[in-house]
Amino acid sequence: MSSAAESSATPARRTAKQPRTRRRTGTYAAADERRRLILETAVAHFARKGYQNASLQKIAVDVGISHTGLMHHFGSKSELLRAVLETRETQAFEQFYFRLDPEAPDPVELFRLIAEQTRFNVTQPGLMQMFALLSAEAGADDHPAHLYFQQRYERVLNIIAKTITHGIETGALHPGIDALAVAREMLAVADGLQIQWSLSDGAFDFLSAHLGYLDALCRRLTVDQSGLPS
């Protein structure tokens, strides 16, 4: 075809393609929204029943789609669980831990970021309850989230221990502190308080208890006995 012929045909081809482009964009947006709704609904079901007792059929019903429709987005129950956990993990690390200076992590800033994360978590009670239940279930070797929780705890422990160690080396924290022991204590307290909150049906004030602990820990570890920054 000549250049002139191509030029004269181009407007017609573009006009013909425009409706299809708009429909595809709308289709992608609808698919993204459906995927988001499936993840949110799965969180609620996993929080109430745990992974083992949650039903993909019931999740699909609550979303308003067929079981086949749900499987189009997530090919299996374990894949859905993995997507839920990865979404939560990405959110947590991007919003909080990635804001630490990797070369010179400030322990007081770490306490502040953990406090900020706690304030955010209490606005997402379904996620908190799901995490408390799944972390207990995942102790079994054959649980699909077993490796996820293993890796997550190791990653968070390393971040906290590295930050505490840096604080000791710079003189911000008292010498002789066992950084890994403090890291394990911080995770144990956070998870323990979260479990108590979950078992109390939300009556236990998790936010106040955890912020109080972080403030006391900050005062105990810092040389200048500074409390938790606001």
pLDDT of residue 133: 86
Average confidence (pLDDT) over 123-132: 86
Distance separating alpha carbons of residues 114 and 117, to the nearest angstrom: 5
- Assign 153 a pLDDT band (cuts: 50, 70, 90): very high
Average confidence (pLDDT) over 96-102: 79
8, pLDDT greater than 80: no
Percentage of the chain with pLDDT > 90? 56
Q: What confidence tens digit (pLDDT) does each residue in 154-210 have? A: 999 999 999 999 999 999 999 999 999 999 999 999 999 999 998 998 899 999 999
Least confident of 17-26, 110-119, 136-145, 206-215: 17-26
Distance separating alpha carbons of residues 203 and 113, to the nearest angstrom: 25
Packed helices 146-169 and 179-199: angle between N→C axes, nearest 10 degrees: 130
116, pLDDT greater than 50: yes
40, pLDDT greater than 80: yes
More confident residue, 94 or 128: 128
Beta bridge partners of 222: 173
Q: What confidence tens digit (pLDDT) does each residue in 155-166 have? A: 999 999 999 999
Average confidence (pLDDT) over 217-227: 95
pLDDT of residue 6: 40
Q: The tokens of 100 are what?
A: 């630490």
How high does pLDDT run on average in the chain? Answer: 86
At residue 173, φ and ψ (nearest 5 deg) are: -115, 155
pLDDT of residue 26: 65
Residue 152 neighbours by CB under 8 Å, 6+ apart: 89
pLDDT of residue 230: 73
User: Cα separations (Å) of 145 from 95, 99, 135?
Assistant: 22, 26, 8
pLDDT of residue 210: 98
Residue 167 neighbours by CB under 8 Å, 6+ apart: 106, 107, 108, 173, 221, 222
